[in-house]
Amino acid sequence: MKELVEKINAEFEVFAANAAAQVEKNNKAAGTRARKSALEISKLMKAFRKVSVEAAK
C-alpha cells in the first residue's frame, strides 16, 4: 500500500505542475498532460480504495 500512496503522490505532483502551467502560462500542451495525469490519479485512487477495503477486513 505504501508504494501505491507514493505513486499517487508522484502523479499528483505531475498534475499540479502541469495544471499550474496551463493556468498561469496558458500552455495548452500542459493542459493535455494535466488531464492525462488526472485520469491516472483516478485509476490509482480506485486501486487504493480496493486495497484499503481489503486491508480493513
What are the pLDDT digits (tens) for 3-51?
999 999 999 999 999 999 999 999 999 999 999 999 999 999 999 999 9
Dist CA 37 CA 18 (whole Å): 9
- What is residue 1's DSSP assignment? -
**pLDDT tier at 53 (50, 70, 90 boundaries)?**
very high
Given the C-alpha cell 486491508, which residue does it identify?
55
pTM: 0.88
The pLDDT of residue 54: 94
Res 5: pLDDT: 96
Query: Which residues, in sequence order, are CB contacts of 31 under 8 Å at separation 6+?
Result: 18, 19, 22
pLDDT, residue 39, reads 98
Q: Positive or negative CA dihedral for 7, 10, 15, 18?
A: negative
